[in-house]
Amino acid sequence: MDFATCLYYLRIAESQKITIPVFSRLLREFGSAKALIKLPSSKLEKFGFDRGQIDLIQNIDSKEACERSTEVSLDWARKEGNHLVCFESHHYPGLLREIACAPPVLFVKGSLSALGERHFAIVGSRSASDYGRRNAYWMAKELSEAKLQICSGLALGIDSKAHEGALDGGAKTIAVMGTGIDRVYPSRNAKLADRIVESGALVSEFPIGTPPYPRNFPRRNRIISGLASGTLVVEANIKSGSLITSRMAMEQNRDVFAMPGSVASPESRGCHYLIKQGAKLVEGPTDILEELGVVEQSPRTTNANAYTRKRDVKNEGMSECPVLKAIDYQGCLFQAIIEQCELGIQELNARLIELEVAGLVRQQGGRYFRVA
């Protein structure tokens, strides 16, 4: 996108004279900066704009003042790997352009091509359980292998594991930020952000330097759901921001999925609420892939059997796995497995994920069960 068009978008977006929802509606109605500039004053007055707002829309403010107000953003965009993507750009994600309050301009760090993939959102609790984190990682890795690009919010817990699962599956992922693009929040995810940028992208609508104000994150959530053809909530309490994301996805006419958990866990109540409200219950990646038409629907046997059929070759020899031998058909607690196998927590988690993905083990209510 040319310098003059980017400058125009930044001037309006950062001026605060015209709200983002109003600017977004103008762009949906008229399509481009050029079309907005050509609107007659009389028409803009009928829309209720005052003289200062009309001058801004018609691009007749002092250029010197405009350049001063946007200099930081433009300097950032001149650096390698940094991009400004305006509403009318061919790089702007098509699904995101359809939502009611599409961000007029996106700050993108990383791969522009990542914006054009088919996205699927995975979100959930920051204070997720081991069960939730393992499922987020598993789902992201499997869905990525099926050519769905995972997007999430770079938060701790479910978001982080979703990004990690996609990356470990050799795929790109997109992290939508609730801060300026130059600020990674939380800071402990700085290394994860660096991994994401290597192949995927960090995305923000907020000006450079914007701190992590609490009000930013509900705004951020509409972009996560707006990018995606569907949203999966893995684990969330009843007041979680993930329920805001799912509500926005429903308003945007996108599919919403939820994974059930233990009835005793507060972090499962949000998912159970969504299922009661009509979200699609998910037991494994196939439930999502079939619903989205990525794979052909099959007769409803158990997910474990479906996954076992898909991975017959990979499963050869797994029956001798010490972790699998430690799990019986009546169920075992994580602590009992780790004591019997004498493995570290991280290594045991990795083995359990492999067995779940292979359809040889399932997790329910905090216990692991061997699948017949």
Same domain, yes or no: 91 and 223: no
pLDDT of residue 306: 38
pLDDT tens profile 302-321: 343 433 344 443 444 565 68
Question: For residue 333, what is the domain's CATH number?
Answer: 1.10.10
Q: Is position 126 within any domain?
A: yes
Q: What is the model's pLDDT at position 313? A: 34
Domain holding 354, by residue range, is 303-370
Six-digit token pair at 236? 């969330």
Among 58, 89, 112, identify where a domain stops: 112
Mean of the per-residue pLDDT values of the chain: 87
Give the whole-number percent of the chain exceeding pLDDT 90.
62
How many structural domains are present in the chain?
3
Cβ neighbours of residue 260 under 8 Å, at least 6 residues apart? 268, 271, 272, 275, 281, 283
pLDDT at 4: 83
19 and 167 co-located in one domain? no
Percent of the chain with pLDDT over 70: 89
Element (H, E) at 149: strand 149-152
Confidence of residue 296 (pLDDT cuts 50, 70, 90): low
298, part of any domain: no
Query: Please, which residues have CB within 8 angstroms of residue 120's CB and are 6 or more apart in sequence?
Result: 143, 148, 149, 150, 151, 228, 229, 230, 231, 232, 288, 292
Give this prediction's pTM: 0.79
How sure is the predictor about 147, in pLDDT bands with cuts at 50, 70 and 90?
A: very high
367: confidence class by pLDDT, cuts 50, 70, 90:
confident
* Model confidence band, residue 356 (pLDDT cutoffs 50, 70, 90): confident
The closest alpha carbon to 288, from 234, 226, 349, 241, belongs to 234
Cα atoms found within 13 Å of the Cα of residue 228, Cβ hemisphere only: 36
Return d(Cα 107, Cα 177) in angstroms, integer.
10
Q: Which CATH number belongs to the domain containing residue 149 in this structure? A: 3.40.50.450
Domain limit, last residue, from 269, 291, 313: 291
DSSP annotation of 367 reads E
pLDDT tens by residue, 77-136: 999 999 999 999 999 999 999 998 999 999 999 999 999 999 999 999 999 998 899 999
Please give the DSSP secondary-structure letter assigned to residue 206. Answer: B
The DSSP call for residue 254 is -
